[in-house]
Amino acid sequence: MSNSNNPNEIIYLDNAATTRISPAVLNAIQPYLNELYGNASSLYSLGRESAKTLEKARTDIAEAIHCEPREIFFTSGGSESNNWAIKSAAMLIAKQGKKHIITSAFEHHAVLHVLAGLEKQGFEVTALPVYKEGIVRVSDLEKALSEHPDTGLVTIMYVNNEIGTIQPISELAELCRTRGVWFHTDAVQALGNIPVNIEKLNVGFLSLSGHKVHAMKGVGLLYVNKKILLPALIEGGAQERGFRAGTENIAGIAGFAAAVKEAVINMETKNAKLLPFREKLYNSIMKLERVHLNGDYEQRTINNLNFSFEGIEGEALLLHLDLAGICCSSGSACTSGSLDPSHVLLALGLPHEIAHGSLRISMSEYTTEAEIDRFLEVLPGIVKKLRDMSPLWEIINTNLSLKAF
């Protein structure tokens, strides 16, 4: 218990949930909290300073992700960006008489719940399968587009948040482009792990979030291709050229720009550092009995691993790890806040009982080898303890020994 009370001793392996603020980000944020706190819409110099910072951040980010500054709209984060892109694009396509939207079965809830709402308003939604590898197939999109000529929008995530699998976004988006269908991607988990290059991605809309890349919570952006006039979701003042009302979060945005630059510059070094950690984790954990890797090993971001341990439940695993000062996450029902396990793991075709026993490990550039070693030292004992007291494990073992005869 004592470990988990001291943040310095915490082993943080939940960077897909959120990340710590980096020193460069902290530096970038600080002046805008109590010195340069002006409203970017104000005319006096304090306000102009904020406006300048805002536009500098926009230019820096545009350069880092290869788009034009005017194509970037700051938002409160990934959820808002996804909501805005999908809801507003749906309004536009409906005007063209298109009422069909294609997505994947394992999108973030900020996409799936929005689509469920649109279905109630008369839109039709097709969710493409992701198979056991956790990857959408271009041929499936092609087929769905042919079957539904009234498709106006496709929204598919770049990297899945639970299993880290990378989707073939440029191929999927190119297919849509040739057919005049808009493409949105939730790239929140991609930035800093794989290249996010708008020029190469062919997308109309792309969502990013600050706090997944060592910036503050509450800041993100939506990239909107300059050819599309996307109606505002948040209406009010004339901020973001009238497309997103609300006084700009200058401190957050300044930090976000610093974070995006760092994420892009450090990506290769970080991946080179984390690759052996991932191999070590994978090789050690797969030596345990009845463990499964969820999602493809190769086509995933280097920072992510997701396992299922048969016979145990994920929340119990997380709580024991927490007692040892280690933070991870699980797709078990108990941690999803509902009574069914994660829709991502079910979309891979996992049975409920295996999805309940999942564990996600997500590293960052701050992860150290000593932390990985400590985690690997603690994990087998916890798995054994929980299996020793699990009647399900007893059933699995009985069935196994029966099969052996």
Partner 1 sequence: MIYSERVMEHFANPRNVGEIENADGIGEVGNEKCGDIMKMYLKINNGIIEDVKFKTFGCGAAIATSSIATEMIKGKPIDEALKITNKAVVQALDGLPPAKLHCSVLAEQAVKTAVADFYKRQGVDPTPIVGVIEDRCEDCHGH
**Which of 35, 340, 373, 377 lies at the binding interface for partner 1 (CB under 8 A)?**
340
Cβ-based nearer residue to partner 1, 7 or 391: 391
Q: Which stretch binds partner 1 (CB under 8 A): 81-89, 129-137, 230-238, 383-391?
A: 383-391
Q: Which stretch binds partner 1 (CB under 8 A): 6-14, 88-96, 335-343, 369-377?
A: 335-343
Distances (CA, A) of 333 to 75, 329, 330, 386: 30, 12, 9, 17
Tokens of 253: 């945005």
**Which of 353, 374, 384, 397 lies at the binding interface for partner 1 (CB under 8 A)?**
353
- Is residue 325 at the binding interface for partner 1, with CB under 8 A as the rule? no
Strand (E) or helix (H) holding 183: strand 182-186
Cβ-based nearer residue to partner 1, 275 or 319: 319
By CB atoms closer than 10 A (0-12, 13-18, 19+), residue 8 is exposed
**Which of 7, 97, 122, 337 lies at the binding interface for partner 1 (CB under 8 A)?**
337
Size of the site for partner 1 (CB under 8 A): 28
Q: Strand ranges (DSSP E) for 87-167?
A: 100-104, 124-128, 151-155
> What does the alpha-carbon distance between residue 327 and residue 331 come to, in Å, rounded to a whole number?
14
* CA distance from start to end of the chain: 45
Cβ-based nearer residue to partner 1, 94 or 327: 327
> What does the alpha-carbon distance between residue 53 and residue 29 come to, in Å, rounded to a whole number?
11
CA 252 to chain CA mean position, Å: 19
CB of 109 to partner 1, least distance (A): 17
Distances (CA, A) of 330 to 104, 279, 341, 345, 366: 21, 20, 9, 10, 21
Cβ-based nearer residue to partner 1, 33 or 319: 319
> Residue 96: phi, psi to the nearest 5?
-90, 5
- Is residue 333 at the binding interface for partner 1, with CB under 8 A as the rule? yes
- Is residue 311 at the binding interface for partner 1, with CB under 8 A as the rule? yes
Residue with tokens 């880290």: 164
Q: Which residues are catalytic?
A: 334
- Is residue 288 at the binding interface for partner 1, with CB under 8 A as the rule? no
**Which of 315, 327, 376, 397 lies at the binding interface for partner 1 (CB under 8 A)?**
315
**Which of 33, 286, 319, 400 lies at the binding interface for partner 1 (CB under 8 A)?**
319
CB of 383 to partner 1, least distance (A): 13
- Is residue 119 at the binding interface for partner 1, with CB under 8 A as the rule? no
**Which of 7, 97, 122, 391 lies at the binding interface for partner 1 (CB under 8 A)?**
391
CB of 392 to partner 1, least distance (A): 4
- Is residue 5 at the binding interface for partner 1, with CB under 8 A as the rule? no
Q: What is the amino acid identity at position 324?
A: A
Cβ-based nearer residue to partner 1, 151 or 390: 390
On whether the CB atoms of residues 155 and 103 are closer than 8 A, the answer is yes
CB of 333 to partner 1, least distance (A): 5
Q: Which stretch binds partner 1 (CB under 8 A): 26-34, 50-58, 102-110, 347-355?
A: 347-355
What does the CA dihedral 394, 314, 156, 60 come to, rounded to 10 degrees?
-150
Cβ-based nearer residue to partner 1, 71 or 310: 310
Strand partners, 166: 159
> What does the alpha-carbon distance between residue 180 and residue 185 come to, in Å, rounded to a whole number?
16
> What does the alpha-carbon distance between residue 327 and residue 51 come to, in Å, rounded to a whole number?
38
CB of 339 to partner 1, least distance (A): 4
CB of 28 to partner 1, least distance (A): 34
**Which of 332, 358, 362, 367 lies at the binding interface for partner 1 (CB under 8 A)?**
332
On whether the CB atoms of residues 356 and 341 are closer than 8 A, the answer is yes
Q: Which stretch binds partner 1 (CB under 8 A): 143-151, 228-236, 292-300, 309-317?
A: 309-317
Distances (CA, A) of 91 to 135, 173, 231, 311: 29, 20, 8, 47
Strand partners, 127: 103
Cβ-based nearer residue to partner 1, 135 or 386: 386
CB of 334 to partner 1, least distance (A): 4
- Is residue 334 at the binding interface for partner 1, with CB under 8 A as the rule? yes
Residues found near partner 1 in the complex (CB under 8 A): 1, 311-316, 319-320, 323, 332-334, 337, 339-341, 351-353, 356, 388-394
